[in-house]
A and B are shown apart, each in its own frame.
Chain A
Amino acid sequence: MTKSVFQKDLLTPGHMGCPGCGASLAMRYVLEALGENTVVVMPAGCWPTFVGLYPSTTLKVPVMSVPFATTAATASGVRASLDRQGRRDTVLGWAGDGGTFDIGLQALSGAAEKGVDMIYVCYDNEAYMNTGIQRSSATPRGCWTTTTPAGALKREPKKNIMEIMAAHRITYAASTSLGYPYDVMNKVRKAKDLSGMRFIHLLAPCPTGWRHETQLTLEVARKAVESRVFPLYEIFGGLEWKINPMPVKIPIDEYLDLQGRFKGLSLEGRVDFQEWVDREWAGIQDKCAHSQAALSV
């Protein structure tokens, strides 16, 4: 008898997410890996707006929907409280790129520095989607959003949140993508087996904001990895870097062309984008090689 991949399925149908929503898939995978004994702390963003319409909810685990800047701080309080009550439930901080890269960064840094025992997942859809697709510091260079409109596409490259987290020397940081559901679940399971601050950077496309067809959510997330725009890697203890899994290499056009948000990107912009991708990739490779060498000394 074939067993269902989702033995727990802690997300019930009926939520208010858009058709093809990447953020809901992200939650499905992460909760499947973490299981029932998980307390989710989520700040403002798409998730709290569609998790339920009071007094109803779509998740079968306890959720705290809290103010925007406070994910990691509230989660620290939940962790302390559960510890005090002798409970070992997993505390899951769950924020988008806005709540992580921008408004929630201070609290996240505070919790990371103190090694608070929690898993923090940033589901990154590269803009403020809930308020209607405004730029965030996770938005890539050359991308359209409603605050980086045609003629003034975003000039700055995406902020490197993984390096920021690695600089805190946290137990575990991993990037993963919805295009690789098993990779998401495996990395979250790996995180669950560790303690201290664990950070998962999860690329979760948003059909509404990325302007791609709803059925392409996973495809786009796969292509992001294959084109090396979004490399998947792990950082142990902030210093030991490892690319996992190693992607094939496809031209970035195969990724960009699936989405309307890069329609305004000029030819030079694309060359620029590719250079940025190659540079970032080389940087990660250097770090992997360096940490390997350091380990073998």
Chain B
Amino acid sequence: MEKCKIESIKQLPVMPLTIEDMTWNKTGTWRLLTPVWMNKIAPCIRGCPIGQPIPQFIQAVLEGDWGTALVRLLEVNPMPGITGRLCYHPCQTACVRKDLDSAVSIKDLERLTADKGGIPRLTRRAAKGRKIAVCGSGPAGLSAAYFLAMKGYLITILEPSDRLGGFLRDLPEGRLSSEVLEREIRRLISVSGLDIETNASEVRARKYDLVLLDRTAYPSESPEARALEKFASSAGQYLDVENKEGGAGFKVVQVAEAVALGRWASNQTEQILGTAFTEESQPFTALDKGELKFSRLPDQKTIDLLERAKGGPDEAAATEAARCLSCGTCNLCQSCIIACPDACCRLDEDEGKIIIDLYHCKGCGICSYECPRGVMNMEYLP
């Protein structure tokens, strides 16, 4: 707002009363350092082969919002119910909380999220009209198919056998029940809308712009692996999806690596087809544990949410979720908003974002000092 121009005394009340607010006074010019609100990569995220947004989904669990929690996972992982059971959870090994008492049970929360989150709706990109066949339906193939489908490609999975899942199919019930496997695959299909062709015997190469071959789906000497070999010969141009060692198969506990491989393959596909969609890349900063202020954790929002969950069906999950410090990840605890003497930090409730009014921010730095998780940082911006 601009300052009102007083040209006649009649504009002013007779009593010495004000007639406008002070927002015309741009106190931002006093500032030397500028607060920057930016999430950083937490150690758990860095530990996760898929790079799942762990603090975010756990925050949704704490809020009792299983649907949102699952969406956060499904954005990067099509089968959290499987990774949540089988993965060797390097995320927990990296968890900051390990040094305080014990790591947050991220894997269990992931499994619970997959079990309780139902079938949420995710936005798919607009159809691109390109057709891709994914041969073999191990976790890597399924993931590649899923990510590509989400990006708007028309996907058909060609599975030589009668069941999807690749090496996950044959696990003992105690490790991964067929019920869970089926549920995860069903959701994957329903969310991404891809087509399935089981008992497929060949690839009609002309139908597809590209064929992907999931070499990790089955042990190398299995009949299915041999069937895939046959597909390769009929596919024309194809992309090999294979593990780091160039070989077939994954250890079961490496299921997350398989998902990551699937994502790599989906990106690779786009490169090959020349349809890669360039997004503005987010600046990538890893969180330094020294930026965390443990004495200020848990924050009030976490305490409030935990209180709310008390006595409810999800109390145990919320209690575990509340242990997450949300390292480097804004959970909208609003410490910065509370800390601002100039009412310059505000919450955009609809977007779930912190907005800083730089026209008025004086750069005192309390917001940054009070942020328990290193998200608000004072920077010199000439």
Contacts and interface: CB of A to CB of B under 8 A. Distances in A.
Asked if the two chains touch in their complex, CB atoms less than 8 Å apart, one says yes
Interface of A: 1-6, 9, 11-17, 19-22, 24-25, 28, 52-58, 60, 181-182, 207, 213-219
Contacts of A215: 364-366, 368-369, 378
Contacts of B233: none
B341 A28 contact: yes
Interface of B: 3-4, 6, 12, 16-27, 30-31, 300-301, 332, 334, 337-344, 346-347, 349-350, 352, 357, 359-360, 362-366, 368-370, 378
29 contacts: A1-B350, A2-B332, A4-B334, A4-B346, A5-B337, A12-B22, A12-B23, A13-B342, A13-B360, A14-B22, A14-B342, A15-B342, A17-B341, A19-B363, A20-B365, A25-B340, A54-B18, A55-B12, A55-B20, A56-B18, A56-B19, A56-B20, A56-B22, A181-B338, A213-B365, A215-B366, A217-B339, A218-B370, A219-B369
A19 B364 contact: yes
A214 B364 contact: yes
B339 A218 contact: yes
A14 B25 contact: yes
Contacts of A9: 343, 346
Given A1-B350, A13-B359, A217-B364, A54 B16 contact: yes
A5 B343 CA distance: 12
Nearest to A22: B341
B297 to A, nearest CB: 14
A215 B20 CA distance: 30
Contact of B362 (A2, A12, A19, A56): A19
Contacts of A58: 21-22
Q: A-side binding surface: helix, strand, loop or mixed?
A: loop
Contacts of B342: 13-15, 17, 24
A214 B366 contact: yes
Contact of B360 (A1, A14, A56, A57): A14
Contacts of A219: 369
A56 B341 contact: no
Contacts of B301: 2
Contacts of A2: 301, 332, 334, 347, 349, 352
B343 to A, nearest CB: 5
A182 B378 CA distance: 25
B18 A4 contact: no
A21 B341 contact: yes
A53 B22 CA distance: 8
A56 B16 CA distance: 11
A58 B344 CA distance: 13
A13 B357 contact: yes
A6 B339 CA distance: 11
A123 B30 CA distance: 25
Given A56-B21, A219-B369, A5 B338 contact: yes
Nearest to A58: B22
B30 to A, nearest CB: 6
Interface pairs A-B: 10 shortest CB-CB: A215-B365, A13-B360, A14-B22, A20-B364, A19-B364, A14-B25, A215-B369, A19-B362, A57-B18, A214-B364
A17 B364 CA distance: 11
Contact of A57 (B21, B334, B370): B21
B21 to A, nearest CB: 5
Contacts of B339: 25, 217-218
A218 B20 CA distance: 30
Contacts of B359: 13
A48 to B, nearest CB: 12
Given A2-B301, A21-B341, A25-B339, 10 more contacts: A1-B350, A4-B334, A5-B337, A19-B30, A22-B341, A52-B18, A55-B6, A56-B22, A56-B24, A217-B364
